[in-house]
Chain A
């Protein structure tokens, strides 16, 4: 494996990978340079002396120096990137093999600022020969050269994580992989030789270790303290053997932190976008948390496609022409590209004024340029879009409902579109409202939580126990309850508990909250560079006011709303290698806008309707309140029977309010019958009466059983 080759493949991508800058000029030029240097005298260096220092740069050396390009800029992000790369690879492998993914993520602190990350899957496993290359060589993988929707694209991620671990801790990457329960598992400890970008195997005298299957192997694993999860435990308690799979363990310098951009957040968001995945997560503090799958159906297998002629660049075209074997130009065009039929190929050749029978390999620079322009001028069908597999509206709803509490959910999947010849697809899901768990807790549960809590102050208790209570919210709750902030939660008097409960119910926690935007690319959550991302930009540029949210110019709308946006594509245009933000292509922006508007309209309908229901109630209330007074006054004035009059007025009131409901909406506009129709499917409304999951003192864990996402039936109940 030469470095040159891998560097070249980097070039093909058009990315800024370090091509070897071998400025080895020919000797004549060098001689001249020497002369000039001699004349000038006192030159600092000569071309010869400089040439001595000019040499290849290995891709691994380059990334070792520029680790920020891959998302290792700080210890906190390094931890996340490591987990992320490993999990992404695992999911890709499982899905490609058609296995329902079961992923274990274990993070363990070994020293201050040093963590051991272990990620295991139940995937197909890796063949023995490939293991060192996949984990110990940068830019090695199956995903780069094909156009197929997958999480990974480059083949840098996991080996870069291993390299980072090695650089910061000196510990090798440990891999154990098993292909079948009857075949031995392979165990490797690998380091990257950064100078050569080749793996170095440390154990088994440079050959790795084979662990035999069965009891013997189990003993070996236990003896050598190799980490391996051997059993899958289903939510119902049944356990089964892990038949195949891979586990990678990397020790690295890192920092564990909760909150934004944390591993917790990443896994939570991954669970939303991948409802077919079960994630077992053990954090450094020893908390175990499991995200159970809500479906066992795998997403359909994405198809691999050939590049579309519109997406190609001149340089790329030239390279492809050179690589062509003895084909005619027509043959070359039809076989290398998608959507090019012989007649289209003929059209292209005619426009380029080239013979369609010319040998593709012999096409020169200038002719290639003509060919390139001819391609742009010829009408070619947009690429086939069946190569993209969306999450699907139903699963989006399930996933979002699973993780984000709310009362209204809706989702929209846009039809596929094309940017620069690459098909892509936008999906948007939205969750609205949802009282924070603090508002749904009952007195008994609150008492129990207070009793169990180990928080020192009430403030801490509120922050740690309940979802959606920020420090501001906690402050307001305690002010309303008139309880001191430093009060110990276990020592509250019953009257104070009662006050606390009332305050928790009454304080509006959603006030001043701004929309949460969850971004995904090929089912991978994006957690950084929110501001630079085309998705955030589109959310901000969408006018949410007509949909019932308040929004100030140039910022995210406010309200208890979460929006999830997924872009699926065979080639996701990231703004950088660390895959943190989507580039703003106009085609992508347009699709984003349309998707956001679709869910926005549904949200607007829901909010208007909810307001109307509320208003109707209020209106009836107001009338009822005054009817008694009116009847009393009138009967006093003319001696009419108060009761009879009251009943009569009540009848009129009922009729009158019902009438008004039909005729007018909250803006006083008449509502047509068609507006009374449903939301057009893919809407989930959780009736507010639903007590919802009770908060768990350990964390925002949601029981797996309550995911009953029916779209239409609940909605009918409400309206």
Chain B
């Protein structure tokens, strides 16, 4: 490490110099938390105790469905990570490294992607041939660990995920000082950044009546091309499958700050159901962020299992359920947040009975614009949603 260290030392040196960027109150809070984490190590070592970290556990066993708030919350369970444990020593070291990396970012007032942080911290351990991180997959969960341990959001650590998902509609936002009119974004739409906190994005003008979230970019394009959002005065978003944090946070803010209903148009398959579940109740992995992400008021607009008959689709556009799908359906059926919803139970039962799944694109077999001109308007008119 000697060489690397030597090179990194000057970079770290400015930490002492106050010429670093202006630190916000939030930054100070995060830095304090990081320092506290380090103090724990010094303290333990001073008392000749093996140092350890208690990291809130991010597993199904440690999440709980809060019936009152109607989203998934993280439990109190923690996993202890010890330095002097053969299987944990490396991840302990990595956790500390991520902490120090975040401190650098905050002090210099810069943000980087999780990949950037990975490169920032990756080097050969002194005197060995071992790398601190073998690949990014090594690093990502550690970043999440640091988030939950410090109870700090990713943005607060100055780390962001890659941008994914677009938005278009009657809304004007101010993104880091630039005013953006999302009704004039052409065919590509406004790319939703991964950090959608009020410090970065302010809503200047929100004139839409509701939000329509679609699963995929291809469907979104159909809607955009048909100027569906203009006709129905809505905001149109997509999240390229499982929506990233930025998209979820954007939906959350639009829903909570501007009271726009959120409707989801997803594939009629277990994966689509799960996406809906994540948008509505939050995900297991990011349960600690549910309060900022989950939208309990979201509604499921389509596709429904009954659409095969309702829209009289051809059997050739169906996709047979595979074993994995069936397993997944049964799993979803047992989620506590689906438990007391007879409509959903029926929906899932019907899918099992059908034995096939439907993609939104299947509606194109009726007509290219069937989905925008008939299907969605009809659902909106009938208010035929699943909760």
- Seen from chain A, the residues whose Cβ lies within 8 Å of a Cβ on chain B are 619, 622-623, 625-630, 632-634, 636-638, 640, 645, 648-649, 651-653, 655-657
A-contacting residues, B89-110, CB 8 Å: 89-90, 92-93, 96-97, 99-100, 103-104
A652 to chain B: which residues have CB within 8 Å?
44-45, 48-51, 84
Selected from B44, B49, B86, B128, the residue in CB contact (under 8 A) with A619 is B86
Q: Once the chains are docked, how many angstroms separate the CA of A113 from the CA of B46?
A: 83
Q: Is the CB of A637 within 8 A of B38?
A: yes
Q: Are B86 and A638 in contact (CB under 8 A)?
A: no
- Render B22-43 as a binary contact track against A, CB cut-off 8 A, 1 for contact: 0000000000001101110110
The residues of A that contact B34 with a CB separation of less than 8 Å are 637
Report Cα–Cα, A630/B81, bound state, in Å. Answer: 13
CA distance A652 to B125 in the complex (A): 20
Distance A470 CA – B128 CA, assembled complex (angstroms): 35
B39 touches A638 (CB 8 A): yes
Could you tell me which B residues sit within 8 Å of A by CB distance? 1, 5, 12, 15, 34-35, 37-39, 41-42, 44-46, 48-51, 83-84, 86, 89-90, 92-93, 96-97, 99-100, 103-104, 125-128, 130, 132
Question: Chain B residue with minimal CB distance to A657?
Answer: B84
Nearest neighbor of A638 in chain B, beta-carbon distance = B38
Task: Tell me whether A630 and B49 are in contact (CB under 8 A).
Answer: no
- Could you pull out 24 A-B pairs where Cβ atoms are within 8 angstroms? A619-B86, A623-B89, A626-B92, A628-B1, A629-B1, A629-B93, A629-B96, A629-B126, A630-B83, A632-B1, A632-B5, A633-B96, A634-B41, A636-B103, A636-B104, A637-B34, A637-B37, A637-B38, A637-B103, A640-B38, A645-B45, A652-B48, A652-B50, A655-B48
Residues from chain A with Cβ under 8 Å of B5 in the complex: 632
CB distance from B71 to the nearest CB of A (A): 33
CA distance A652 to B82 in the complex (A): 12
The 8 Å CB contact of B12, one of A619, A636, A645, is A636
A637 to B146 CA separation, bound complex (whole angstroms): 14
Nearest Cβ on chain A to B106's Cβ, whole angstroms: 11
Interface core residue of A622, A627, A636, A637 (most chain B CB under 10 Å): A637
| Most chain A Cβ neighbours within 10 Å, of B1, B37, B96, B130 | B96
Name the contact of B45 in the complex, choosing from A625, A637, A649 (C-beta under 8 A). Answer: A649
Residues of B within 8 A of A638 (CB): 35, 38-39, 42
Instruction: Return the contact of B84 from the options A628, A634, A636, A656 (Cβ within 8 A).
Output: A656
**Which B residues are in CB contact (< 8 Å) with A648?**
45-46, 48
Residues of A within 8 A of B83 (CB): 623, 626-627, 630, 649
- Bound Cα distance from A630 to B98, whole angstroms: 11
A635 — nearest CB in chain B belongs to which residue?
Answer: B38
Specify which of B37, B50, B97 is in contact with A629 (CB 8 Å cutoff).
B97
Q: Is the CB of A636 within 8 A of B100?
A: yes
| Contact among B35, B125, B128 for A637, CB-based, below 8 A | B35
Q: Separation in Å of the A127 CB from the closest CB of chain B?
A: 75
Q: Shortest distance in angstroms between B256's beta carbon and chain A's nearest beta carbon?
A: 35
User: How far apart are A626's CB and chain B's nearest CB, in angstroms?
Assistant: 4
Residue of chain A at shortest CB distance from B45: A648
Which are the 4 A-B pairs with shortest beta-carbon distances?
A637-B38, A648-B45, A633-B96, A638-B38
Please determine whether B35 and A629 come into contact, CB atoms closer than 8 angstroms.
Answer: no
Please give, as numbers and ranges, the residues of chain B lying within 8 Å of A629 by CB-CB distance. 1, 93, 96-97, 125-126, 132
B139 to chain A, nearest CB (A): 14
CA distance A312 to B104 in the complex (A): 93
Tell me which of A623, A629, A651, A655 has the highest count of chain B C-beta atoms within 10 A of its own C-beta: A629
Residue B89 contacts which of A622, A632, A640 (CB distance < 8 angstroms)? A622
- Are B42 and A645 interface neighbours, CB within 8 A? yes
What 14 new A-B contacts, CB under 8 Å, besides A622-B86, A652-B51? A619-B86, A626-B83, A627-B83, A630-B83, A630-B96, A633-B100, A634-B96, A636-B100, A638-B38, A645-B41, A648-B45, A651-B48, A653-B84, A657-B84
Instruction: Please report the C-alpha to C-alpha distance between residue A570 and residue B83 in the assembled complex, in whole angstroms.
Output: 64
Are A634 and B42 interface neighbours, CB within 8 A? yes
Measured CB to CB, the closest approach of chain B to A590, in angstroms, equals 43
| Cβ distance B208 to chain A, nearest Cβ, rounded Å | 45
Cα-based distance from A619 to B51 in the complex (angstroms): 17
* A630 and B92 form a contact (CB under 8 A): yes
Q: How far is the CA of A1 from the CA of B83 in the complex (A)?
A: 89
Cβ distance B161 to chain A, nearest Cβ, rounded Å: 23
A623 to B87, CA, bound (A): 11
Rounded to whole Å, the gap between the CB of B228 and the closest CB of chain A is 50
Give the residue name and chain of the A residue nearest to B99 (CB).
A637
Could you say which residues of chain A place their CB within 8 Å of the CB of B48? 648, 651-652, 655
Instruction: Give Cα distance in the complex from A159 to B50, angstroms.
Output: 79
CB distance from A636 to the nearest CB of B (A): 4
Partner of B100, one of A622, A625, A637, A645: A637
Which of chain B's residues has its CB closest to A622's CB? B89
A632 vs chain B, min Cβ distance (A): 7
Q: Which residue of chain A has its CB nearest to the CB of B34?
A: A637
Q: With a CB–CB cut-off of 8 A, which chain B residues contact A622?
A: 86, 89-90
The interface residues of chain A lying within 8 Å CB-to-CB of B38 are 633-634, 637-638, 640
Measured CB to CB, the nearest residue on chain A to B48 is A652
B125 partner, pick from A619, A625, A640, A645, beta carbons under 8 A? A625
Q: How far is the CA of A323 from the CA of B48 in the complex (A)?
A: 89
Bound form: Cα–Cα A647–B97 in Å:
19
Name B126's closest neighbour in chain A (CB-CB): A628
Within the assembled complex, what's the spacing in Å between the Cα atoms of A633 and B42?
11
Q: How far is the CB of B179 from chain A (nearest CB, A)?
A: 39
List B contacts of A630 (CB < 8 A). Answer: 41, 83, 92-93, 96
Residues of B within 8 A of A623 (CB): 83-84, 89
Least distance between A637 CB and chain B CB atoms (Å) = 3
Task: Tell me, rounded to whole Å, the shortest Cβ–Cβ distance linking A572 to chain B.
Answer: 52
Most chain A beta carbons < 10 A, residue from B42, B89, B92: B42
A628: chain B residues within 8 A (beta carbon): 1, 125-126
State A655–B126 Cα separation when bound (angstroms): 23
B contact residues around A626 at 8 Å (CB): 83, 89-90, 92-93, 125
List A contacts of B44 (CB < 8 A). 652
Q: In the complex, A655 Cα to B47 Cα: how many Å? A: 13
Cα distance A652–B43 when bound, in Å? 13
A419 to B35, CA, bound (A): 79
- List residues of chain A with CB within 8 A of the CB of B37: 637
Docked Cα-Cα span, A655 to B39, in Å, equals: 22
Residues of A contacting B49 with CB < 8 Å? 652
What is the minimal beta-carbon distance from A469 to any residue of chain B, in angstroms?
Answer: 29
Q: CA separation between A627 and B128, bound complex, in Å?
A: 13
Are B99 and A633 closer than 8 Å at their CB atoms?
Answer: yes
A652 to B52, CA, bound (A): 12
| Inter-chain contacts of B125 with A (CB < 8 A) | 625-626, 628-629
B205 to chain A, nearest CB (A): 43
The CA of A633 and the CA of B130, in the complex, are separated in Å by 17
Q: Residues of B contacting A640 with CB < 8 Å?
A: 38, 42
- A contact residues around B127 at 8 Å (CB): 625
- Chain B nearest CB from A612 CB (Å) reads 13
A633-B89 in contact given A638-B42, A645-B41, A652-B49 (Cβ < 8 Å):
no
- In Å, the complex CA distance between A656 and B85 comes to 9
B42 closest partner in A (C-beta)? A640
Report chain B residues within 8 Å CB of A656. Answer: 50, 84
The residue among B83, B90, B126 with the most chain A CB atoms within 10 A of its own CB is B83
**Which residues in A have their C-beta under 8 angstroms from that of B42?**
634, 638, 640, 645
CB distance from B133 to the nearest CB of A (A): 11
B120 CB, min distance to chain A CBs, angstroms: 12
Q: How far is the CB of A543 from chain B (nearest CB, A)?
A: 29
What's the Cα separation between A47 and B192 when bound, in Å? 117
- Which chain A residues border B90 with CB–CB below 8 Å? 622, 626
A657 cross-chain contacts in B, Cβ below 8 A: 84
Complex interface: chain A residues within 8 A of B86 (CB)? 619, 622
Once bound together, how far apart are the Cα atoms of A188 and B39, in whole Å? Answer: 98
- CA of A623 to CA of B90, assembled, Å: 8
Cα-based distance from A681 to B41 in the complex (angstroms): 48
| Closest beta carbon of chain B to A464's beta carbon, Å | 37
